[in-house]
Amino acid sequence: MMDVLPGDDLFDGIQKKASFKRGIYNITLDTFRMIKSILSEMALEYRTKYRNEPTVIPFEFIDKGEFEAELKFGGDVLVFIMHTNVFEFSREHEVMKTSYVKEDPNRSYSGLIMIFNFLADSFKYNRENDLGYLIGRIFINNESHYFIEGKREIGQLFNNFQSSVMNRESARKIIESAIRYTINFDLLTPPYENMKEVTVADMQMTLDNMKIVTGKRLGFRFQGDHDEFKS
């Protein structure tokens, strides 16, 4: 591991490790910029394909800044967020057991890009209590190798850290898989028991701001949903 050990020159150690992490950060940022470029291209492709249609379902890319982007389509929004820090995996993580990382432990240091799914109406009507859904986490190391922890096919298709190299083709496949997963991930009716009682205060609010939480899986919390999660 790239640790600063007793006996090492402290300042050299700081410089070495910080430079190493900065390199990973730059690779991750370049990847995120590439993802935003692909999202923009896909939105243009969609508009071009349906330019003569009288009524077209929206498919819109929105650049939210250096570390955030949105893709709106149908009734859904995919939110792409790049974390600005570099991470190391715990010793128990499956990545640490691969021959790829054992050959060079520094390969386990990774940047992080997250993909969330929200309902479009949650933003449109400012429903602050609605739930988002983390459907994938992209980890990218100093060699531009990547793997994904994610839901169903997303995690299953992109989990070979040793052979998966991030480029424009692989980024496009990841985005397309996230879109397909989202399309097939339908909104469920909330349980009746959770909806049968409503306070007067809630009822007096406008529909836009009612405190009735909506999400594709009501009450979803990512860390508790292990059945569909693949490390």
In which band, very low, low, confident or very high, does the pLDDT at 167 lie, cut at 50, 70 and 90?
Answer: very high
Pair 29, 82: CB distance under 8 Å: yes
Mean pLDDT (the chain) is: 83
Gap between the Cα atoms of 3 and 115, Å rounded: 31
- Going across the sheet that includes 68-73, the strands are 59-63, 68-73, 76-82, 111-119, 133-140, 146-151, 229-230
In a domain, 2, yes or no: no
Token pair 């406008």: residue: 206
In a domain, 91, yes or no: yes
Domain that holds residue 43: 10-186
In a domain, 69, yes or no: yes
Residue 190: its pLDDT value, please?
A: 61
* pTM metric for this prediction: 0.81
Residue 9: its pLDDT value, please?
A: 83
Neighbours of 102 (CB within 10 A): 11
Comparing CA positions, the residue from 110, 133, 113 lying closest to residue 35 is: 113
In a domain, 214, yes or no: no
Give tens-digit pLDDT for 31-84.
999 999 999 999 999 999 998 888 889 999 999 999 999 999 989 999 999 999
Residue 188: its pLDDT value, please?
A: 61
The total domain count for the chain is 1
Span 144-161, average pLDDT: 78
Span 98-103, average pLDDT: 94
Residue 5: its pLDDT value, please?
A: 61
Residue 227: its pLDDT value, please?
A: 40
